[in-house]
Amino acid sequence: MSPEKIYILAIESSCDDTAAAVLENDSVLSNVVATQKIHEEYGGVVPELASRAHQQNIVPVVDTALKQAKITKEQLNAVAFTKGPGLMGSLLVGVSFAKSLSLGLGIPLIDVNHMQGHLLAHFIKNDQEKELEFPFLGVTISGGHTQIVKVTDHFEMEIIGETIDDAIGEAFDKSAKTIGLPYPGGPLIDKYAKLGNPKAFPFSKPNVKGLNFSFSGFKTAVLYFIQRETKENPNFIEENLYDICASIQYTLVNILKDKIRKAVKETGIKTIAIGGGVSANSGIREMLLDCQKRYQWNVFIPKFEYTTDNAAMIGITGYFKYLQKDFADLNVTATARTHF
């Protein structure tokens, strides 16, 4: 007898991406993301505009996800959605939609923590040779979060380090803004960094205790540096763009590397799994692969479509919760700040 097939529709709307996915057990049948372009004009996410865009996008995105998966609503076993953390107005669109669908179809509702989703994305069925095993250190790096998490089981997660101010993605994006690059500047810094000298302009690293991070001082250091240099030479940025980007990236990669090494030393865990939009950064990927060789780490880097915000990661987390019959009731609400 073939094992039971569970179909889960997952919805993610925590920030500025409206996403829906359909999973058959741990396999992704469709993974649709509508990225909201409107925020580019403002140099950052405008919460009010984000929730309005989610409202417009959610029906077509879910529709497309079901069509691409060749699944009808009636075949679904459950609806999973992101409960938080995220922007309240954005989350509410996903929560309300998921509740209505679950009520209308008479199927269970599953609330998912977005951060757990980033980490459990590694368990989506894939063609990689090696499989992620517990325990591991999950490193979530994005525009909204920077955390090191000790993961001992699917839902046994302990945050052992996190940022006390800005997220690493903000450090990329705000430095990029300082040098006149459009939002989100992280991918552009990455692109230009490849052409520059990482040691051209040394920036000091913050001195934060333990496994926590701080990026606000770095952001200010870049701002003062650029103000000083452009006062002397108005063409400083144009003439040194690649070196500036390489130096910014080099510093941020090293801040991350130092803390991961410290976490490995303190926990004795050498398996590292990264997640979040910033894990697309080539400097971070190279650093991790280098540490894998140098210190015998076992590094897991997700496929690109599962690094940035997506609903497949919400679906896989929903699947594990489904197996445990861990369902939400219709009184469930979104929470902007959600802990594990």
Owner of token pair 């996190």: 162
φ and ψ of 36, to 5 deg? -85, 110
CB 47 within 8 A of CB 5: no
Counting contacts by CB under 5 A, is residue 102 touching Zn ion?
no
Distance CA 99, CA 330 (A): 6
Place of tokens 């009184």: 331
For Zn ion, the closer of residues 137 and 314 by Cβ is: 314
Shortest CB 208 distance to ligand KG4, Å: 20
**Taking CB under 5 A as the rule, does residue 17 contact Zn ion?**
no
* From 89-97, 142-150, 157-165, 226-234, span contacting ligand KG4 (CB under 6 A): 142-150
Cβ contacts of 53 within 8 Å, gap of 6 or more:
16, 18, 36, 38
* Contact pick of 141, 309, 310, 312 for Zn ion (by CB under 5 A): 309
Q: Which strands sit side by side in the sheet containing 271-275, from one edge to the other?
A: 156-162, 146-153, 136-141, 271-275, 298-300
CB atoms within 10 A of CB 5: 10
Q: Name the residue nearer to ligand KG4 (CB basis): 187 or 206.
A: 187
CB 16 to ligand KG4: min, Å = 8
- Residue 172 backbone dihedrals phi, psi, to 5 degrees: -65, -50
Helix (H, G, I), strand (E, B) or coil at 137: strand
Select the span of 88-96, 202-210, 272-280, 288-296 touching ligand KG4 (CB under 6 A): 272-280
Minimum Å gap between C-beta 85 and Zn ion is: 9
**Helix/strand/coil (H/E/C) assignment for every residue in 198-223:** CCCCCCCCCCCCCCCECCHHHHHHHH
CB of 114 to Zn ion, least distance (A): 6
Q: Is 308 in the site for ligand KG4 (CB under 6 A)?
A: yes
Identity of the amino acid at 262: K
Residue with Cβ nearer Zn ion (142 or 271) = 142
Q: Which is nearer to ligand KG4, 271 or 281 (CB)?
A: 281
Q: Which residue is nearest to ligand KG4 (CB)?
A: 277
Q: How far is the CB of 144 from ligand KG4 (least distance, A)?
A: 4
Determine, following the binding rule CB under 6 A, whether residue 278 of this chain makes contact with ligand KG4.
Answer: yes
Q: Which does 161 bind (CB under 5 to 8 A by kind): ligand KG4, Zn ion, none?
A: none
DSSP-assigned letters across all residues of 24-61: ETTEEEEEEEEE-GGGGGGTS--HHHHHHHHHHHHHHH
CB of 172 to ligand KG4, least distance (A): 4
Q: Give residues in contact with ligand KG4 (CB under 6 A).
A: 15, 142-144, 169, 172-173, 184, 186-187, 190, 276-278, 280-281, 308-309
